[in-house]
Amino acid sequence: MKKQMIFFDIDGTLLDHDKKLPVSTKKAVNRLKELGHELAIATGRAPFMFENLREELGIHTYVSFNGQYVVHNGKPVFQNPLDREELHLLTEYSKGIDNPLIYESHDKMYANVENHTYIEEGIGSLKITSEPIYNPHFYKNNNIYQTLLFCTEKYEEEYRDRFGKFEFVRWHEYSMDVLPAGGSKAKGIEALIKHLNIPMDHVYAFGDGLNDIEMLSFVKNSIAMGNAEDRVKEVAKYVTKDVNEDGILKGLQLVGLLDEEAV
């Protein structure tokens, strides 16, 4: 088989519902590398939130912040930070209704409040070791590739109506990703495959979340996890098993990238 490029989401795709890496997934990834394929991670997470996973899998190419910061073999090849003036307006507005923010740079995250239940719940669900640093002014002089807005669903439309330069994508009961308008994993993938001159026919992607919809719609050979929401499955070309049922391995077999005896 010719060299293919395969993108993997993290939460609910590479990592199971307990944020563990299934043994079958690790073996499948190692086999893909042995076969000479190009592998990449495509995630809403900041790079510092999955450094250990990159090391464990030996994958050093990634689309992070839902497409806003793209790295190939450790070197940035595409960056798309949030509009600073619009971010200031968002900060002032959200502060007035007790909706805290976390500003994410490529190596750290900074909160504009010292403590908040929504932040504890949202960040806690990721099961990472990093904690936000209190610095409400960090965004003023630094590139922010993604902001986490902590609010309930009742505020969603209000934010979308007020801040047209941003996209809002919910990932937790108490939190939404804030991206540049038009930003998505698909945009980051597009930038990377153009940089590497890889034809679309040779690109695959696995995902399960709402922030994977654009990616799975854009990539010709797209695979939704069995645990994905119905609207995510609807845009994918294929649907594999649940992440807890060897979904990555079975998905790779389904599309012919691995045979039944490969792992």
Catalytic residue positions, numbered: 9
Query: What is the rounded CA–CA span in Å between residue 180 and residue 80?
Result: 8
Pairing of strands 203-207, 175-180: unpaired
DSSP state of 76: E
> Among 110, 108, 212, 90, which residue's Cα sits nearest to residue 151?
90
For the chain, the C-alpha Rg in angstroms (whole number) is 18
Q: Is 7 helix (H, G, I), strand (E, B) or coil?
A: strand
Query: Apex CA 14: angle with CA 10 and CA 19, to 5°?
Result: 75
Q: Is 146 helix (H, G, I), strand (E, B) or coil?
A: strand
Cβ distance 94 to 216 under 8 Å?
Answer: no
User: Residue 233 is encoded by which pair of tokens?
Assistant: 């499955």
Pairing of strands 146-150, 175-180: antiparallel
Query: What is the rounded CA–CA span in Å between residue 207 and residue 227?
Result: 10
Could you tell me the CA-to-CA distances from 254 to 173, 213, 235 in Å, in that order? Answer: 33, 20, 17
Crossing angle for the helix pair 247-254 and 23-34, nearest 10 degrees?
40
Cβ distance 34 to 263 under 8 Å?
Answer: no
